[in-house]
Chains A and B, each alone.
Chain A
Amino acid sequence: MRLFALAVYLFLYVPIAVIAVFAFNGGRSATQLQGFSVQWFGRALSNPFVVDAFRTSLTVALASATLATVFGTMAALVLPQARPRLRAAFDALIYVAVMVPGIVIGIATLIALVTVFGWVNPVLAAVWPGEAPPQLGLGYGSLIAAHGLFALALVVLLVRARVAGMDRSLVEASADLGATPWGTFRQVTLPQIFPGILAGFLLAFTFSFDDFIIAFFVAGPQTTLPIYVFSSIRRGVTPEINAIGAMVLAASLTLLVVAQLLLRRGTSRARG
């Protein structure tokens, strides 16, 4: 039994280790080790396409995770008090957002936005007072909005679980003692739900940063890091991809560890 478990752990981690090892390859070959060097990391970091793609991914992930966390937390907080019908409709939409495959969301967003832009752009051109009317198109906006959708559903689910487990009497006590609603939120509610909010933000960020399939459809002229890596692999396997992969893996591992530490601190603080 234990041997089996060991084998599974090897299965999980050997491929990751192989990527990391080959990233330090001295030669040009992606499949044969020829000495040790860090040249491929240098190459990847000085490749303008990689840097650009990384910047796009980071911007989109930060923006979509932030917006989704703020709006999702707001929604999760008031959902218990909303009209039953509104709440049921909202719950159903969150469920659909999580259930429908990413590829369908990507396609649907692509054709809906292209169609809407096709109607709006001529109108904008007609009513625009200046010389060059703005052209709506796919890009940062559509990436952030599409990633934000799934992130929003994630945040609502996580924060709601926290809100449900919250001690309501503390909120009432705070109000009875004359605290303003904002004061109650900051000093009573927020510390209790903070771990949920943080977890939601980090999962939303990771999701957006790693997502390929939705971005593939709605990125327009932009290139995210996963899109860059995917198209490079199509062109052939090089140690540079290994270097990028090793860096991405290292970054997400660091993020996960930081998240764990923060979450643990958040929980102990919430418990007082």
Chain B
Amino acid sequence: MARRRIGATLLLAPAGLWLLAMLVLPLVVVLVFSFGERGPAGGYAPAFTLANFLNLGSRGAAFRNTLVLAPLGTLACLLIAYPLAYVLAMRVGERWRTVLLVLVIVPFWTSILIRTYAWIFLLGGQGIPKLLGWLGLGQPMLINTPFSVLVGIVYGYLPLMVFPIYVSLERLDKRLLEAADDLGAPPWRSFWQITLPLSLPGVATGCLLVFILLMGEFLIPAMLGGGKVFFVGNALVDLFLQSRNWAFGSAVAMALVVVMLVTVTVYMRLMRRWGGGRDDVALM
């Protein structure tokens, strides 16, 4: 037994050391730096001050945008993903189901950079606005607005929302729906009282996944927001690569992680309560 344990520890060692060197050490450095000062030529100078945290308000717009657009984007994904997952799980025959599901997932595993680039194209002056103008609907400014960022978000993260909802709808015991039908319940009622509640775990998982990724988003607002719609991620890139203020940047990064952890924890608590104390709710 002792020998097996030593063997086990040895096999764990490379992965463990990797996690320590590339995850724990960097996060500790961010924590330490967030209490420091900006060096004279940028970077970091040792200090112990709360000034960086007190100064967070100067990046308030980035936090506000993120905390408004991340939930809004999650909601938009949900509103489109749910009906799609419903059709796939309930209304499509076995043969086509897998193919159609794979078609939803595939874009997620291709470059998000290139897929977002497609929307610069489509929403830019020569794309959809021109088409609308040609149809006599005026030429609205679409790119570099909160709307274009939302479109990019939905386009980027829709697959991630569809999949868990589909799984929970597919697992649903179809006999319950037949029973409801036999007992004379109208379709909307069996949807409201059976399908929807039983698919909530999938909804909760999808929302959590999308929300977590959106909180740290940089690319979509950078490409479709044109500097007018920026997230905390964009502020971070600016602080580290442009103004080189590592201390303040670290404080912003810490704040982002804390805000994220708090929202996710509160969210999971709420979901668990609504789910009637069921443990599988909101688990990945």
Contacts and interface: CB of A to CB of B under 8 A. Distances in A.
Interface of A: 1-2, 4-5, 8-9, 11-13, 15-16, 18-19, 22, 30-32, 71-72, 74-75, 77-79, 81-83, 86, 90, 93-94, 96-97, 99-105, 107-115, 145-146, 148-149, 152, 156, 203, 206, 209-210, 212-213, 216-217, 226, 229-230, 233, 237, 241, 245, 248-249, 252-253, 256, 260
Contact of A101 (B4, B84, B110, B233): B233
B117 A16 contact: no
A245 B117 contact: yes
Interface stretch (B7-15, B47-55, B166-174): B7-15
B268 interface: no
Contacts of B118: 15-16, 18-19, 245
Contact of B110 (A11, A77, A110, A210): A210
B27 A78 contact: no
Contacts of B249: 107
Contact of A19 (B30, B100, B103, B121): B121
A248 B22 contact: no
A108 B29 contact: yes
B72 to A, nearest CB: 18
Interface string B205-225: 000000011011011000100
Q: Looking at chain B, what size class is its interface with the partner chain?
A: 35 or more
B109 A252 contact: yes
B111 A156 contact: no
Contact of A146 (B19, B22, B24, B241): B22
A8 B84 contact: yes
A126 B126 CA distance: 60
A5 B29 CA distance: 47
Contacts of B24: 93
A233 B116 CA distance: 11
A77 B11 contact: yes
B147 interface: no
Contacts of A253: 106, 110
A111 B260 contact: no
Given A15-B119, A241-B117, A252 B87 contact: no
Nearest to A31: B126
B15 A2 contact: no
Given A108-B30, A112-B29, A152-B18, A75 B11 contact: yes
A79 B121 contact: no
A96 B28 CA distance: 13
B250 to A, nearest CB: 7
22 contacts: A1-B87, A2-B91, A4-B84, A5-B88, A31-B121, A78-B7, A90-B19, A101-B216, A146-B22, A149-B18, A152-B15, A206-B109, A213-B233, A217-B241, A229-B114, A230-B113, A233-B117, A237-B124, A245-B114, A248-B111, A249-B114, A256-B109
Contacts of B43: 114
Interface in B104-132: 104, 106-107, 109-115, 117-122, 124, 126-127
A2 B84 CA distance: 9
B183 interface: no
B237 interface: yes
Nearest to A115: B29
B283 to A, nearest CB: 12
Contacts of A16: 107, 110, 115, 118
Nearest to A108: B26
A213 B218 contact: yes
Contacts of A260: 102
Given A19-B117, A101-B257, 16 more contacts: A5-B88, A32-B126, A81-B5, A101-B213, A103-B237, A107-B250, A108-B30, A111-B26, A111-B44, A111-B240, A115-B44, A148-B22, A152-B19, A212-B113, A229-B117, A252-B110
